[in-house]
A and B are shown apart, each in its own frame.
Chain A
């Protein structure tokens, strides 16, 4: 991949990840990611025919528990760390135009 194309890709992925990058950062990260992806391409040598994916190491499955009311964090504690709040709510910039 050309560096220009990688920079385009990084810009797109950074948007998906909601990550602001400075011009210099973009350039440096694009070069490094090119390097890392080149290394990762090694995985193409592995024979994965008929191999199932492992997303989790334990044989986990969903279990439903009884719905028993318990103690939960009170609102004021949950809001304690918020950079901006009003009453029992987090406040954020305008979402609807």
Chain B
């Protein structure tokens, strides 16, 4: 039997009862990676072996993920294991500690795969093409992108090269690739999951979250990684509910808001009709649908590209050739040798998109432009948040497409950064307003590409998302479809 095709919750049971041996599962998974990863390229450093960090289960009696191999995005710190954000500037970086989410997974018995998953450099992108390791392919069509920036994590789960994965989401970087690859992806409420050990992109927007084969796995992983962490001053000290317990509660009487601004120009007609069918399915399961309005939606992308780049330009100042990673050789110039070292290291180490964002962020924070750009964006962010506050007075959950299109072609948007930015149009608002949002597979285009439906809820209402997505998933078959890859 092909055990690597199973979900985490199925494997936990089989491993526990001894019907599957841990060694056998791991061996099968490694063979699977060897077979299909040369095509998919979900993992970084092609050709190097995949091992696992030993579990820390002996420290804990509660091991809900015992023996489950999990793949990790290249921007989440793993002690002694290369973590390079797919950037030349972090070449050779082996973190001296585990991120809190990694420690929690290891204590829960999970096996952390030591070859990280591919991503856009520093999570700057929506296609996983901006990586110093090259592009990842979409398992459903190798000529297309897997989405991004957690494209490697999403592809590894879709291609059965990992049982589940962790990614990070600053403007859609978990949900959009989940949608493109036909898997489940959750961006938790800001503050729900510790960011300690996540290499920062935009600190007021970043969250770590799971990418999984089904909704129950998503709840299971979330149960392990959520919670207060004294090492992250923005993590929130409120109890974590039992996510799995509420899965089967059904959605009879749940009010679902459909924002009219999300179904207008720019949306692919096939995506629109697939999501509309999914909404009809939610109705037939007992949900009450009503139209809601998020009037400032059109400002979300410009607000995001000011705030996220401003925070990124500040966070990336630490990559200067002193503490870790690359240092460019000294040049013989009349200028300050220290400043020259900074400039040449950063010039050589950062890729094109990183440079673009550092420049844009530095610009909007600089003297003379701060009020007109950065401060204005912070104020419009307030308006976007107020839109959601008002909408959630009228509904429990908001449903939209995750992305306006299905997966696009490799290379298609690389020369047009603005078009690339617009592919995040439906996901960005959840980060700006801090709310949780989940993408669940809801069908396919005629070309056989997965489409995702996005569910959004009030802060800390992840339970509502799980409940709604689970009811939908159990009533449909999409999560059972697999791409055909390798010999299978």
Give A contacts to B, CB under 8 Å. 9-10, 13-14, 16-22, 25, 29, 32-33, 35-36, 39-40, 42-44, 46, 48, 51-58, 60, 73, 77-78, 80-84, 90, 92-95, 97
Answer whether residue B325 sits at the interface, using C-beta atoms and an 8 A cutoff: yes
Answer whether residue B381 sits at the interface, using C-beta atoms and an 8 A cutoff: yes
- A19 & B347 in contact (Cβ 8 Å cutoff): yes
Q: Which residue of B lies closest to A19 (CB)?
A: B346
- A18 & B360 in contact (Cβ 8 Å cutoff): no
Expressed in whole angstroms, the minimum distance between the Cβ of B74 and any Cβ of chain A is 15
Most chain A C-beta atoms within 10 Å of own C-beta, residue among B234, B342, B358, B363? B363
Give B contacts to A, CB under 8 Å. 92-94, 96-97, 190-191, 204, 233-234, 236, 296, 298-299, 301-303, 305-306, 313, 317, 320-327, 330, 336-344, 346-348, 350, 352, 355-356, 358-360, 362-363, 366, 373, 375-383, 385, 417-418, 421, 432-434
A51-B383 in contact given A17-B313, A19-B359, A58-B434 (Cβ < 8 Å): yes
- B299 & A53 in contact (Cβ 8 Å cutoff): no
Chain B residues with CB under 8 Å of A57's CB are 190, 204, 385, 432-434
Expressed in whole angstroms, the minimum distance between the Cβ of A92 and any Cβ of chain B is 6
- B96 & A80 in contact (Cβ 8 Å cutoff): yes
- B321 & A83 in contact (Cβ 8 Å cutoff): yes
A43-B343 in contact given A36-B417, A53-B378 (Cβ < 8 Å): no
- A36 & B360 in contact (Cβ 8 Å cutoff): yes
A13-B359 in contact given A42-B298, A57-B434, A58-B234 (Cβ < 8 Å): yes
Chain B residues with CB under 8 Å of A29's CB are 355-356, 359
A36-B299 in contact given A19-B343, A21-B355 (Cβ < 8 Å): no
- B355 & A25 in contact (Cβ 8 Å cutoff): yes
- B338 & A93 in contact (Cβ 8 Å cutoff): yes
Chain A residues with CB under 8 Å of B343's CB are 18-20
Instruction: Given contact pairs A48-B379, A92-B338, enumerate 9 new A-B contacts (beta carbons under 8 Å).
Output: A18-B342, A19-B355, A20-B347, A25-B352, A39-B418, A51-B383, A57-B433, A81-B93, A95-B336
Chain B residues with CB under 8 Å of A51's CB are 379-380, 382-383
Most chain B C-beta atoms within 10 Å of own C-beta, residue among A33, A35, A36, A39? A36
- B363 & A9 in contact (Cβ 8 Å cutoff): yes
Chain A residues with CB under 8 Å of B342's CB are 18
* Across the A-B interface, the 8 shortest Cβ-Cβ residue pairs: A20-B347, A57-B434, A53-B378, A81-B324, A83-B327, A93-B337, A48-B379, A18-B342
A39→B348 CA distance, assembly (Å)? 29
- B204 & A56 in contact (Cβ 8 Å cutoff): yes
- A54 & B327 in contact (Cβ 8 Å cutoff): no
Most chain B C-beta atoms within 10 Å of own C-beta, residue among A36, A46, A54, A97? A54
- B302 & A78 in contact (Cβ 8 Å cutoff): no
A51→B384 CA distance, assembly (Å)? 11
Chain B residues with CB under 8 Å of A93's CB are 330, 337-338, 340-341
- B323 & A53 in contact (Cβ 8 Å cutoff): no
Expressed in whole angstroms, the minimum distance between the Cβ of B192 and any Cβ of chain A is 11
Chain B residues with CB under 8 Å of A22's CB are 347
Of the candidates A33, A48, A60, which one forms a contact with B360 in the assembled complex, judged by CB atoms under 8 Å apart?
A33
Chain B residues with CB under 8 Å of A48's CB are 376, 379-380, 383
Chain B residues with CB under 8 Å of A19's CB are 343, 346-347, 350, 355, 358-359
A sample of 29 inter-chain contacts (CB < 8 A) reads A9-B363, A10-B359, A13-B362, A14-B359, A19-B358, A20-B343, A33-B359, A36-B418, A40-B305, A40-B306, A43-B299, A43-B302, A43-B380, A46-B296, A46-B379, A46-B380, A48-B376, A52-B379, A52-B382, A54-B382, A54-B385, A58-B191, A60-B234, A81-B96, A82-B322, A83-B326, A92-B341, A94-B338, A95-B338
- B204 & A39 in contact (Cβ 8 Å cutoff): no
A77→B236 CA distance, assembly (Å)? 29
Q: Which residue of B lies closest to A16 (CB)?
A: B362
Chain A residues with CB under 8 Å of B298's CB are 42
A70→B306 CA distance, assembly (Å)? 38
A58→B232 CA distance, assembly (Å)? 13
Chain A residues with CB under 8 Å of B313's CB are 17
Expressed in whole angstroms, the minimum distance between the Cβ of B476 and any Cβ of chain A is 33
Expressed in whole angstroms, the minimum distance between the Cβ of A64 and any Cβ of chain B is 12
- A54 & B338 in contact (Cβ 8 Å cutoff): no
Q: Which residue of B lies closest to A73 (CB)?
A: B96
Expressed in whole angstroms, the minimum distance between the Cβ of B248 and any Cβ of chain A is 31
Chain A residues with CB under 8 Å of B341's CB are 92-93
A81-B347 in contact given A25-B355, A32-B417, A42-B299 (Cβ < 8 Å): no
A49→B39 CA distance, assembly (Å)? 53
A39→B322 CA distance, assembly (Å)? 36
Chain A residues with CB under 8 Å of B338's CB are 92-95
